Amino acid sequence: MQVYRELHVITARPTPDDESKAPHLGYGVLPASEACSAGRWLALAQVAIDQTIDMGKLPVVTGGTGLYIKALIEGMADIPDVPDPIRAQAIQLWQEQGEKALLERDPDMAARLKPGDTQRHTRALEVLLATGKSLAYWHELPRAKPYPEAQFSVEFIDPPREELYLRCDVRFTAMLDAGALEEVRALMALNLSPDLPALRAVGVPELIKHLKGEWTLDKAIDKAQQATRNYAKRQLTWFRHQLS
């Protein structure tokens, strides 16, 4: 989410003070009107890593989305590009039929996805429509590592759960003080498709409901803090199982 230039505060991107201490690459490089997949991020990350190496510095990749880190270390399935008309068709199918759209066409892949996960359901649909093969098929193919000769040191920060959740709560109120609500209001003014990933960044849906008059600010804060804690819990679970 930190790749989106409109989402500076709500995604807790590095501050100007942070950036003055070390070069930061890959932040705010895409408009919120574009969808950034793991594959797109991997391509952007490789550019940033290569630039860092060219500067004679050690690349340090930070973040909490384990799937992206795993893609960098192990590579990704070489899935053919999906034409825009096919992608639009997949989105329309999801809007019209919901989870049934994938369940009827690819029950195996549907069983692997969480209910209500629009992004992954439409991704599975568009790959199936474009290639005639399940996304599960592509995921099972051998992968080429982006940096086969590199040595990776994975540092997983695992604070006590109570301390982590407290920090999640404090972090969100600090972002509000820094202008998160105004940032989300400006994002709403762009009238973007609700299916875009930027509209699903933690805290964005909750603040949108407040700005639309559906929730009080206190309720939006409570829900956003809960969403942050839930996301942190999923991160912990993923890293413990995938990169242990």
CB 178 within 8 A of CB 7: no
Domain with residue 88: its CATH number is 1.10.20.140
pLDDT score at 244? 55
pLDDT of residue 125: 95
CATH number of the domain within which 172 lies: 1.10.287.890
Domain count, the chain: 2
- Taking a C-beta distance cutoff of 8 angstroms, is the pair 190, 6 a contact? yes
For residues 183 and 237, state if they share a domain: yes
Residue 50: inside a domain: no
Same domain, yes or no, for 134 and 101? yes
Q: Is residue 6 pLDDT above 70, yes or no?
A: yes
Domain around 227: 161-242
Mean per-residue pLDDT of the chain: 92
pTM for this model (two decimals): 0.81
List alpha helices for the chain, DSSP H: 16-21, 38-54, 66-74, 84-97, 100-105, 107-112, 118-131, 135-139, 161-177, 180-188, 204-211, 217-242
Give a yes or no: residue 182 inside a domain.
yes
